[in-house]
Chain A
Amino acid sequence: MVAIKGGAYIPLYGRDSMKVEIDNFLMDVYPVTNKDYVAFVKKYPKWQKSKVIKLFADASYLRDWKSDTLLGENKKENSPITQVSWFAAKEYCECQGKRLPTVDEWEYVAMANKKMPDARKQKEYNAFILSWYEKPKTFNQTIGSTFKNYWEVYDLHGLVWEWTSDFNSVLITGESRKDVDTDSNLFCGSAAINATDLMNYAAFMRYAIRGSLKAKYTMKNLGFRCVKDDKK
Chain B
Amino acid sequence: MKLLKAVCILFAGSLLLVNCKSEPKQELAKADSSTIYIKGTMEAELTSPPFVPAPIGNRTAKKLLVNMEILEKEGTMTDGVQYVYWTFGGTVPGSFIRTRVGDEIEFTLSNHPDNKLPHNIDMHAVTGPGGGAESSFVAPGHEKTFSFKALNPGLFVYHCATAPVGMHIANGMYGLILVEPEGGLPKVDKEYYIMQGDFYTKGATDEKGLQPFDMTKAIKEDADYVVFNGKVGALTGDNAITANVGETVRLFVGNGGPNLTSSFHVIGEIFDNVHVEGGDLINTNVQTTSIPAGGAAIVDFKVEVPGTFILVDHAIFRAFNKGALGMLKVSGEENKKLYSGVKQEGIYHPEGGTIQTMPVDKNKKEVAVTTEKPLAKKIVDGKQIYMTTCFACHQAEGQGIPNAFPPLAKSDYLNADVNRAIGIVLHGKTGEITVNGNKYNSVMTRQTLTEGEVADVMTYVYNSWGNNKTNVTIKNVQDVKNN
Contacts and interface: CB of A to CB of B under 8 A. Distances in A.
Contacts of A211: 118, 137
A190 B139 contact: no
Contact of B74 (A136, A161, A205, A220): A136
B417 interface: no
A207 B134 contact: no
Contact of A134 (B118, B136, B212): B212
Interface in A200-222: 201, 204-205, 207-209, 211-213, 217-221
Contact of B139 (A134, A179, A217): A217
Contact of B216 (A175, A179, A199): A199
A174 B136 contact: yes
A85 to B, nearest CB: 12
Interface residues of B, number: 36
A130 B215 CA distance: 10
Nearest to A205: B117
B113 A209 contact: no
Contacts of B152: none
Main SS at interface, chain B: mixed
Which among B116, B133, B142, B166 has the greatest number of chain A C-beta atoms within 10 A? B116
Given A60-B113, A136-B114, A205 B133 contact: no
Contacts of B135: 174
Contact of A219 (B72, B134, B139, B216): B139
A67 B134 CA distance: 37
Contacts of B161: 175-177, 190
A121 to B, nearest CB: 14
Nearest to B140: A219
B116 A133 contact: yes
Given A189-B165, A220-B113, A177 B130 contact: yes
A172 interface: yes
Nearest to B139: A212
A131 B215 CA distance: 12
Contacts of A220: 113-114, 140-141
A199 B217 CA distance: 11
Interface string A102-120: 0000000000000000000
Interface in B126-170: 129-130, 133-142, 161-167
B118 A209 contact: yes
B99 interface: no
B120 A174 contact: yes
Which among B114, B136, B162, B163 has the greatest number of chain A C-beta atoms within 10 A? B163
Nearest to B216: A199
Interface size band for A: 35 or more
A137 interface: yes
Contacts of B114: 136-137, 220-221
B309 interface: no
Given A137-B114, A211-B118, A205 B130 contact: no
Contact of A205 (B129, B164, B166, B212): B164
Interface in A165-186: 172-179
A175 B167 contact: no
Interface string A138-159: 0000000000000000000000
Which among A173, A176, A207, A209 has the greatest number of chain B C-beta atoms within 10 A? A176
25 contacts: A127-B212, A131-B212, A133-B84, A134-B212, A136-B73, A172-B163, A174-B130, A174-B133, A174-B136, A175-B130, A175-B137, A176-B133, A177-B161, A178-B130, A190-B165, A199-B216, A204-B163, A208-B117, A211-B118, A212-B137, A212-B162, A217-B139, A217-B141, A219-B140, A221-B115
Closest A-B pairs by Cβ, 8 of them: A174-B137, A212-B118, A190-B165, A175-B130, A175-B134, A189-B163, A212-B139, A176-B163
Given A136-B74, A177-B130, A212-B137, 15 more contacts: A133-B117, A134-B212, A161-B116, A172-B163, A175-B133, A178-B130, A192-B164, A199-B215, A199-B216, A205-B117, A209-B118, A212-B139, A212-B162, A219-B113, A220-B141
